[in-house]
Structure 1
Amino acid sequence: MADFSQQRDAMVRHQLAARGLHDPRVLDAMGRVPREPFVGASMQAFAYDDGPLPIDAGQTISQPYIVARMVELARIAPGDRVLEIGAGSGYAAAVMAAIAARVFTIDRIERLAALARGRFESLGYDNIDVRTGDGTQGWPEAAPFDAIVASAGGPGVPDVLKGQLAIGGRLVMPVGASLHAQQLVRVTRVEAARFETEAKDHVAFVPLIGVFGWGDEAAY
């Protein structure tokens, strides 16, 4: 099997640290988690390129910088319980699992959830739970979460997800009126009924499909 360690180290230095990402836990996780097992065999040579790549079911694996940026914004720390909306390839969940105590990840596409689960098992990640379902409704029986990260863009932050945050918990997701142009926001649950919202980077994500997101027609 090819050794991608040099490409991974270069990615951390040039794509992440050089662009201002500085959380040592995030940089360490990005440097330890292999990206190549999370893309198809034909894409492995491009696994550490500075951009998104196609994966199964017509979806994409996000640019490494975006993955690291969202994890850093979520301020994920050891001991945290994290919910991810949009498992995709499973790469972002693996990065978060390298920091957090437990990660719960949901994808609406059964094939993606199954492939991600298989990758976690083969790579030895035993602190990630995967399910297929409507991520906009969260994972109520596993709540509260110290962090929630949505890897798809919705028209707004669903109240049901905010309600699954622990006090002091952070939610990071792309939000925007357009299906393919959004702004990252970070929502912090300050008190039981009080939330603070910060607007961050302009981004472009696939649509968040579900009861509290875009309708099914947005997927086509």
Structure 2
Amino acid sequence: MTPDYAHARDLMVEQQVRPWDVLDARVLDVLAAMPRELFVPPAYIGAAYADIALPLAHGECMLKPVVAGRALEAIRAQPTDDVLEIGTGSGYVTACLSRMARDVVSIEQHADLAAAARVRLEAQGIANARIEVADALTWHSDRHFDAICVNGAVATIPAHFVSMLKPGGRLFIVRGREPAMEAVLLRNESGGPRIESLFETDIPYLAGAAPVPVFHL
């Protein structure tokens, strides 16, 4: 019997995402329409709509649907926005962002993950998202972005992420030490960045962005 993925998406939105204070209609519509099962590694397709993070190669993961939803809700990409995504992973959040924004640049450190994500995006007919293979902690662009979505954790927010925001731009990122990390929304305001705490979570660190280990004698 073929799984009813459309029904599973509806349940994900109504039973997981919406109760987690994701209320923006555009975000909910994108999550209800995007076929998450096509972005999941084949071994985990049965858990495509479960309330869990799914492992990818190189220690990366697909964010839990609720975390992906809260990230999209936080930055609220508009049809005129240029968006930078850090940590392409499976390409699922990339695809969702592409449906909401004008243009998406996504950075992925691992060439195999980037290549697989490109295939998935092309299969969805997505032409306004470009994936670059690079280390996000050293990657720079002359462009400035309306919103930045970071799909991995950091010990502290890198200053150069903030420097790539336009005035008034929004940055979603998870910071701190596991297992009690803090998801925040940073707004690039004229008087300096303003940070709003959103929720606690625990996701893998971006490569090179973990805290320095503390050794106790």
Is TM > 0.5 for Structure 1 vs Structure 2? Answer: yes
CA–CA distance in structure 2, aligned partners of residues 11 and 19 of structure 1 = 11
Alignment root-mean-square deviation, CA = 1.9
Q: Is the contact made by 1:166 and 1:189 (CA closer than 8 Å) also made in structure 2?
A: yes
* 1:170 alignment counterpart: 170
Q: C-alpha offsets along residues 2-61 of structure 1, whole Å, 9 cap, x if unaligned? A: 541010111111111133210001001101111011112221121001111122334211
* 1:96 alignment counterpart: 97
Q: Is the contact made by 1:146 and 1:165 (CA closer than 8 Å) also made in structure 2?
A: yes
* 2:81 alignment counterpart: 80
CA–CA distance in structure 1, aligned partners of residues 3 and 178 of structure 2 = 38
* 1:187 alignment counterpart: 186
Q: Is the contact made by 1:153 and 1:180 (CA closer than 8 Å) also made in structure 2?
A: no
CA–CA distance in structure 1, aligned partners of residues 22 and 161 of structure 2 = 26
* 2:203 alignment counterpart: 205
Q: Give secondary structure in 1 for the equivalent of 2:83.
A: strand
CA–CA distance in structure 1, aligned partners of residues 50 and 81 of structure 2 = 30
What is the aligned-residue identity percentage? 32
Q: Give secondary structure in 2 for the equivalent of 1:97.
A: helix
TM-score, with length taken from structure 2: 0.91
Q: Is the contact made by 2:109 and 2:135 (CA closer than 8 Å) also made in structure 1?
A: yes
Show structure 1 runs of 4+ deviating over 4 A.
none
Partner AA of 1:198 in structure 2: E
Q: Give secondary structure in 1 for the equivalent of 2:173.
A: strand
CA–CA distance in structure 2, aligned partners of residues 72 and 20 of structure 1 = 9
CA–CA distance in structure 2, aligned partners of residues 34 and 139 of structure 1 = 32
For these two proteins, the number of residue pairs brought into alignment is: 212
Cα 1:215/1:194, change in 2 over 3 Å: closer
CA–CA distance in structure 1, aligned partners of residues 112 and 31 of structure 2 = 25
Instruction: Using the TM superposition, give the Cα deviation of residue 187 of structure 1 relative to its aligned residue in structure 2, in angstroms.
Output: 1.0
* 1:115 alignment counterpart: 116
- Give the stretch that moved more between structures: 179-188 or 100-109: 179-188
Cα 1:139/1:33, change in 2 over 3 Å: farther
Q: Is the contact made by 1:52 and 1:63 (CA closer than 8 Å) also made in structure 2?
A: yes
Aligned ranges 1:1-220 → 2 under 5 Å:
2-141=3-142, 143-176=143-176, 178-191=177-190, 194-210=192-208, 213-214=209-210
Q: Is the contact made by 1:181 and 1:205 (CA closer than 8 Å) also made in structure 2?
A: no
